[in-house]
Amino acid sequence: MALLKGEKVTRYFGGLAAVFDVSFEVQQGEALGLIGPNGAGKTTLFNLISAALTPRPGAIYFKGRKITGLSPYRICRMGVARTFQTVKVFPDLPVLTNVMLGASFGASPGLSWGDAAEEASEILEFVELSAVRDTPAGELTLANQKRLEVARALATRPDLLLLDEIMEGLNPTEIARSMELIRSIRGRGVTIIMIEHVMKAIMNLCDRIMVLHHGSKLAEGTPGEIAASDEVIRVYLGERAHAGS
């Protein structure tokens, strides 16, 4: 049984189909890359999976259970955690408290505030943010805020982690560290879907890649298959090669 399954997932904004008739499956332990031009509907698909938005029509199943229509907090507690493309840390709260909230509310069963502190410390160690644990989250660099979002998501003990462009705006060193982090998260047995424009990261980290274009699924396959697909090169990879990235 697939860990996550989407059936003809669709979402319109006014007349625009941001996501149209997309069906997909993600297996336990897999890392799926989600790529496509800006505006292709990648973030919207994350919003649909994490219940920030409801698919209309369409249905999403997690661990075999239909999760369409549930609230975001329920989906988080069931084991789906996410980060945000535009970072959304709790800026005035210390880094440690940001992560403690995940452990105390998002995990199931939720940890007591004291146990949450212990768990959060461990996670900060894991993502290498221990040095700034008492700093207000809003004062961190962008790279560290993105790491903090990953830490907060991990604290909810997810089975599935949705990473929305956590390498966007980072320098090459930071990107390398970020790739290392994703590898070690996979090592913990967490299933990952990642949206990323950094092709090196996608090609190296993912077992499978899904390409969205104008809201629809354009292609799906192993990194090798995707890199060799004429259609993908035409609408996405080629365009990026032209832009020099």
List phi, psi (to 5°) of 10. Answer: -135, 140
Q: Return the range that interacts with another protein (CB under 8 A); candidates 90-98, 184-192, 193-201, 206-214.
A: 90-98
How many residues bind ligand ADP (CB under 6 A)? The answer is 11
Residues in 29-88 at the binding interface with ligand ADP, rule: CB under 6 A: 36, 38-44
Please answer whether residues 78 and 108 qualify as being in contact, where contact means their C-beta atoms are separated by less than 8 angstroms.
yes
- Residue-wise DSSP of 29-52: T-EEEEE-STTSSHHHHHHHHTTS
12 is an interface residue for ligand ADP by CB under 6 A: no
50 is an interface residue for Mg ion by CB under 5 A: no
Distance, CA of 134 to CA of 222 (rounded, Å): 42
Please answer whether residues 30 and 191 qualify as being in contact, where contact means their C-beta atoms are separated by less than 8 angstroms.
yes
Residue choice 102, 144, 194, 213 for contact with another protein (CB under 8 A):
102
The two structure tokens encoding residue 143: 């790279």
Site pattern 104..143 for ligand ADP (x: CB under 6 A): ----------------------------------------
CB of 60: closest distance to ligand ADP in angstroms?
16
User: CB neighbours (10 Å) of residue 108?
Assistant: 12
List of residues contacting another protein (CB under 8 A): 50, 52, 71-73, 76-77, 81-82, 84, 88-93, 97-98, 100-102, 104-108, 110, 112-113, 116, 152-153, 156
